[in-house]
């Protein structure tokens, strides 16, 4: 501080300093913690075959285990046997196990299910695309038909987006679905969600 300013301060003069006025919301706002987004994503994740689950029951150490989801979407849990968890969220799977345990074995059991390791989920894109092959599905994300085609590099010059077929196996039976990706791209048809094991084939244009 300069000598002149010190003299003014001693004489009782008021000194003014520049300041920045922030909105009240900015003073009290806290950024969302990283774990919040992860927890929200986990709550919406659907368990799939080959996922490795870590299951714990509060104060029941003998029941703690890691189990891999079978191709049929089931696990075999101590005491209660086979439990269908495929397609359920970890929270819903916890509730399914808790209900079975509470029925015949434990009083008010507290069960937690977490995904210890995500299983590989793959689909194939064949036919008139730039990079035909097999692709891994991103963890915790849903893939539509248009997403799958984009991952394969898009269409070739002679592709017909209106002639797409999809093969899917459900309960040991193969189903063939005919799709029109051209109309989906124009929002004339609803998007189609890809499942692990699907085989997509983009047809060739006749012209």
- Tell how far CA 33 is from the center of its chain: 19
Q: In Å, what is the CA distance from 121 to each residue of 124, 136, 141, 173, 181?
A: 11, 6, 11, 19, 22
Biggest CA pair distance of the chain: 94
CA distance 122 to 136: 4
Show the tokens assigned to 76: 């075999």
What pLDDT score was predicted for residue 177?
94
Residue that the structure tokens 């269908």 belong to: 84
CB-CB contact of 192 with 179 (8 Å):
yes
Domain range list for the chain:
34-117, 122-204
CA distance 169 to 125: 15
What pLDDT score was predicted for residue 28?
37
Same fold, 34-117 and 122-204: no
pLDDT tens sequence for the chain (207 residues): 444 444 444 454 444 434 333 343 333 334 434 433 344 445 667 888 889 999 999 999 999 999 999 988 899 999 999 999 988 999 999 999 999 999 999 999 999 999 998 888 889 999 999 999 999 888 767 889 999 999 999 999 999 999 999 999 876 688 999 999 999 999 988 889 998 889 999 999 886
What pLDDT score was predicted for residue 118?
86
DSSP 66-98: EEEPPTTSEEEETTTEEEE-TT--HHHHHHHHH
Just give the CATH number of 34-117: 3.30.1950.10
Q: In Å, what is the CA distance from 108 to each residue of 16, 104, 207?
A: 65, 11, 67
CA distance 35 to 43: 12
Residue that the structure tokens 């849990």 belong to: 77
Choose which CATH entry (3.30.1300.10, 3.10.560.10, 3.40.50.2300, 3.10.450.350) describes domain 122-204: 3.10.560.10
CB-CB contact of 191 with 148 (8 Å):
no
């Amino acid at each position: 501080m300069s000598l002149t300013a010190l003299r003014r301060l001693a004489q009782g003069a008021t000194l003014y300093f520049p300041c920045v006025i922030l909105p009240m919301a900015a003073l009290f706002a806290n950024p969302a913690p990283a774990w919040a987004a992860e927890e929200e994503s986990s709550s919406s994740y659907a368990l799939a075959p080959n996922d490795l689950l870590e299951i714990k029951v509060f104060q029941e150490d003998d029941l703690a285990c890691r189990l891999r989801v079978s191709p049929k979407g089931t696990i075999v849990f101590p005491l209660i046997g086979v439990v269908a968890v495929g397609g359920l969220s970890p929270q819903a799977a916890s509730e399914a196990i808790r209900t079975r345990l509470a029925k015949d074995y434990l009083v008010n059991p507290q069960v937690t299910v977490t995904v210890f390791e995500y299983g590989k989920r793959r689909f194939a894109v064949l036919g008139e695309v730039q990079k035909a092959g097999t692709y891994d599905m991103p963890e915790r994300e849903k893939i539509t038909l248009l997403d799958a085609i984009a991952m394969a590099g898009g269409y070739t010059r002679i592709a017909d987006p209106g002639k797409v077929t999809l093969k899917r196996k459900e309960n040991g039976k193969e189903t063939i679905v005919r799709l029109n990706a051209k109309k989906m791209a124009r929002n004339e048809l609803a998007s189609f969600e890809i499942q692990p094991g699907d085989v997509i084939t983009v047809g060739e244009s006749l012209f």
